[in-house]
Structure 1
């Protein structure tokens, strides 16, 4: 029984309104609840123990605090991406080390944290301890707004590319080839744009291009694979998962540890979050901390290839069934 045009219009309007509510929630809710949640920091120096205890009591649950033997090891924790910041105690006072390249938002939190260790004002005291940025963000993008702004277009264009390949290329094998070519050209082009005209990312060009290509392949390959295996429902499933879940939880404009738990951690196991983390590692940290996001992107890329293979098998079965049903030509 066919539905009336009125019922279809009503159903589409209700569905669109619900989707709008979901999108607003997905993108606004994480940003509205940003706060430090077990952000890794290190403390070193002769007063490391009392400072760590004082910080844990003042901000319970905000920081995951470990101690290091000296300032050199504290700095290494930042450059290895084991921590976002460090508190260095010394007889002359307290210094706070940050790594704004890892997250400008966390660096701002640590800047504010430095005020807690400022000596009380008197005639001879300074107002606050020194804050030093050990691994600075790009000078043309000190707050990371440009970096964060790259994430959504990269994911959206990857989904759009998968959809275009699904609707315009009949053979699944050629769709897979299209995904690979799209990832290669998209990675090279996006990296050139980000490093030259926009001047958002330092680091070696080929490494940046490789990370972007890998991210595109993971997203576009999985979405195209879902479409090949499940049809249009698979295309919608992939798009919603990566756009409405993966992108807001990527931590591109903040950090996974600033998002509500456990959503920040979950986001790192989706291509948008893994791609953002890997891009930071390649651009600012000489590849430090790249192992997990590389594994995550590799896993999604393999999943996309498996789904495309299943889709190709499904398409062959459909063609074979259609051929078996075709009437034999009449004998003359």
Structure 2
């Protein structure tokens, strides 16, 4: 007995150590390799072609450059979420158009890049076309909102799994939690901390979609697989989804192909959806919303299958033939 217990203890310790190493790598590797990879930007104005060539030579592979005629077209590309910023060439030197609401880090890099191109001691003039909320000028508050949303949604799924025996009522609980959580978080993010421009009900709806995606899937996996399913959901969303989300930087700043993979998971899709819906009038919000709704649909479908199986098991004794 002692031998079996010793082996089990050693196995748990070894597994925990491997999981710890995996988590360290997952969280630190993207952070230490943060750099632009085909970040969409626009170069406009009379010297756009020459400036684009200079950028390609100076930073090969860093930017996906599109040349447009003038500043108006460059602004349209930014507000439509087709580009993170623009460099507009003029006879007096380059001007920079940024969108700190899309990515403060990319905005900073574009500003520094334009300053090196201008050669002027004061640098190039900068216009923030789509700015973050004045009470969160660096966008750090909005960036840190996603991880607590995911973690609290995971906790809610675990509580529902162990406290509510019926899968159907777990689905109802997940939906109710998404609504209440959306209203509550919107009150904090919009009403108190002023991290987003609002309106309140739109913020609540955006947050509720994120909560529903995570809670429903983890609760559904718990109903379908048991504790292993909860662990699988937690590891997928936290260990893989959070480091690759690009919420604090941009998906194009995460090492390839992990930035694109992160947009297919709830944390990354939630970050893009929140920025698009609340700062860009919905431009670019379709794809991340589809990802969140798709995950939520999978979760509620798993809960529905578990409900159906439970009902079949309860009906099974009544259908057994009565012995003669």
Shared fold (TM-score, shorter chain, > 0.5): yes
- Which residue number in structure 2 is paired with residue 300 of structure 1? 295
Q: Mark the CA change 1:3 to 1:214 in structure 2 (over 3 Å): closer, same or farther.
A: farther
- Which residue number in structure 1 is paired with residue 240 of structure 2? 245
Query: What secondary structure, in the 3-state scheme, does the structure 2 residue paired with 1:297 have?
Result: helix
Structure 1: how far apart are the matches of 2:315 and 2:18?
Answer: 40
- Which residue number in structure 2 is paired with residue 5 of structure 1? 5
**Structure 2 runs not aligned, ≥5 long:** none
- Which residue number in structure 1 is paired with residue 112 of structure 2? 112
For residue 317 of structure 1, report the CA deviation from its aligned partner: 4.1
1:16 is aligned to 2:26: no
Selected match of 1:204 from 199, 209, 214: 199
Output the TM-score relative to the length of structure 1: 0.92
- C-alpha deviations, 1:141-170, integer Å up to 9, x for none? 222221111111100010110111000101
- Which residue number in structure 2 is paired with residue 40 of structure 1? 40
Q: Work out whether residues 104 and 143 of structure 1, in 8 Å CA contact, stay in contact via their aligned partners in 2.
A: yes
Selected match of 1:133 from 116, 128, 131: 128
- Which residue number in structure 2 is paired with residue 192 of structure 1? 187
For residue 81 of structure 1, report the CA deviation from its aligned partner: 0.8
Structure 1: how far apart are the matches of 2:314 and 2:18?
Answer: 38
- Kindly tell me the number of residue pairs found equivalent between the two proteins: 321
Q: Mark the CA change 1:215 to 1:115 in structure 2 (over 3 Å): closer, same or farther.
A: same
Query: What secondary structure, in the 3-state scheme, does the structure 1 residue paired with 2:169 have?
Result: helix
Q: Work out whether residues 229 and 314 of structure 1, in 8 Å CA contact, stay in contact via their aligned partners in 2.
A: no
More deviation, 185-194/298-307: 298-307
For residue 41 of structure 1, report the CA deviation from its aligned partner: 0.2
Structure 2: how far apart are the matches of 1:225 and 1:48?
Answer: 52
For residue 281 of structure 1, report the CA deviation from its aligned partner: 1.2
- Which residue number in structure 1 is paired with residue 228 of structure 2? 233
- Which residue number in structure 2 is paired with residue 49 of structure 1? 49
Query: What secondary structure, in the 3-state scheme, does the structure 1 residue paired with 2:192 have?
Result: coil
Task: Report the RMSD for the aligned CA atoms in angstroms.
Answer: 1.9
- Which residue number in structure 2 is paired with residue 172 of structure 1? 167
- Which residue number in structure 2 is paired with residue 92 of structure 1? 92
- Which residue number in structure 1 is paired with residue 260 of structure 2? 265
For residue 234 of structure 1, report the CA deviation from its aligned partner: 1.1
For residue 286 of structure 1, report the CA deviation from its aligned partner: 1.4
Query: What secondary structure, in the 3-state scheme, does the structure 2 residue paired with 1:42 have?
Result: strand
Output the TM-score relative to the length of structure 2: 0.94
For residue 315 of structure 1, report the CA deviation from its aligned partner: 2.7
Q: Work out whether residues 95 and 125 of structure 2, in 8 Å CA contact, stay in contact via their aligned partners in 1.
A: yes
**Structure 1 runs not aligned, ≥5 long:** 120-124
For residue 197 of structure 1, report the CA deviation from its aligned partner: 2.2
- C-alpha deviations, 1:109-150, integer Å up to 9, x for none? 11111122123xxxxx65322121111112222222211111
For residue 324 of structure 1, report the CA deviation from its aligned partner: 7.5
1:183 is aligned to 2:184: no
Structure 2: how far apart are the matches of 1:227 and 1:215?
Answer: 19
- Which residue number in structure 2 is paired with residue 61 of structure 1? 61
Query: What secondary structure, in the 3-state scheme, does the structure 1 residue paired with 2:126 have?
Result: strand
Query: What secondary structure, in the 3-state scheme, does the structure 2 residue paired with 1:252 have?
Result: coil
Structure 1: how far apart are the matches of 2:80 and 2:319?
Answer: 62
- Which residue number in structure 2 is paired with residue 219 of structure 1? 214
1:162 is aligned to 2:152: no
- Which residue number in structure 1 is paired with residue 74 of structure 2? 74
Q: Work out whether residues 158 and 216 of structure 1, in 8 Å CA contact, stay in contact via their aligned partners in 2.
A: yes
- C-alpha deviations, 1:90-126, integer Å up to 9, x for none? 112110111010011111111111122123xxxxx65
Q: Work out whether residues 111 and 124 of structure 2, in 8 Å CA contact, stay in contact via their aligned partners in 1.
A: no
